[in-house]
Amino acid sequence: MDSKNDMRFTVEMTLGKLAKWLRILGFDTIYAADITGEKLIDAAKGRILLTRTKGIRDLKNAKERIFIASNHPFEQLQEVVSVLDIAKENIRPFSRCIQCNALIRLVEKNTVRGKVPDYIWETRDVFHTCSCCRKIYWSGSHVRRSRDIVRRLFK
C-alpha cells in the first residue's frame, strides 16, 4: 500500500473549497474546475477521485473513488480524512500553494520587499513563495484560522 503522505487527489468541479483545504493540508490536489466526463476521469489517473456524481462507474486509471455526501466543506474534509484514515502525521500543512497546487518554499525576507504591502514587510519575518505562480505567503489571520481547522480535524 502506498504511503499516506503520497496520496494525490483529483477533485470535482463542485468541491472547490474541499480542494483548497486539501492543498492547505499539503496534499497534491488537482481541482477540476472546468473538467467533466471523460476528461475528468483522465485527470484522475493515478489519483484518488473525490466526486459528488454517483454515475461515474468506469474508473479507468483512477486509484479509487470517494463519494462525498456532505454539502459543508469542513464535513467534506472530515469524510476524506475518515475514509482514508489520514492522521495528523500524514499532513504537511502550508507546504503547497492554495492557488496552483505547486510547492512553496521559504525565501529571504529581503527578496519580497516591495512585493508585499509595506506594513506586512515591516511586521512579518517569515515569507514563502510559490515555485510556480510566484504568489507570496506570510503568516497572518488566515494561517491562524487554518491552524484552528487542522486542530478541530485531528482532535
Q: Where on the chain is the footprint of Zn ion (CB under 5 A)?
A: 97, 99-100, 102, 130, 132-133, 135
Q: Which is nearer to Zn ion, 76 or 101 (CB)?
A: 101
Q: How far is the CB of 71 from Zn ion (least distance, A)?
A: 28
Q: Which is nearer to Zn ion, 10 or 51 (CB)?
A: 10
Exposure of 63 by Cβ count < 10 A (0-12 exposed, 13-18 middle, 19+ buried)?
middle
- What are the strands of the beta sheet with 64-67, ordered from one edge? 28-32, 8-12, 48-51, 64-67
Cα 113 to Cα 21: distance, rounded to the nearest angstrom: 29
Q: Which is nearer to Zn ion, 126 or 132 (CB)?
A: 132
Question: What is the CA angle 30-2-100, rounded to 5?
Answer: 20
Q: How far is the CB of 128 from Zn ion (least distance, A)?
A: 10
Q: How far is the CB of 134 from Zn ion (least distance, A)?
A: 7
Q: Which is nearer to Zn ion, 102 or 149 (CB)?
A: 102
Q: Which is nearer to Zn ion, 28 or 64 (CB)?
A: 28
Cα 135 to Cα 152: distance, rounded to the nearest angstrom: 27
Q: How far is the CB of 103 from Zn ion (least distance, A)?
A: 9
Query: Strands 127-130 and 8-12, how do they pair?
Result: unpaired
Exposure of 58 by Cβ count < 10 A (0-12 exposed, 13-18 middle, 19+ buried)?
exposed
Q: How far is the CB of 100 from Zn ion (least distance, A)?
A: 3
Cα 129 to Cα 96: distance, rounded to the nearest angstrom: 10
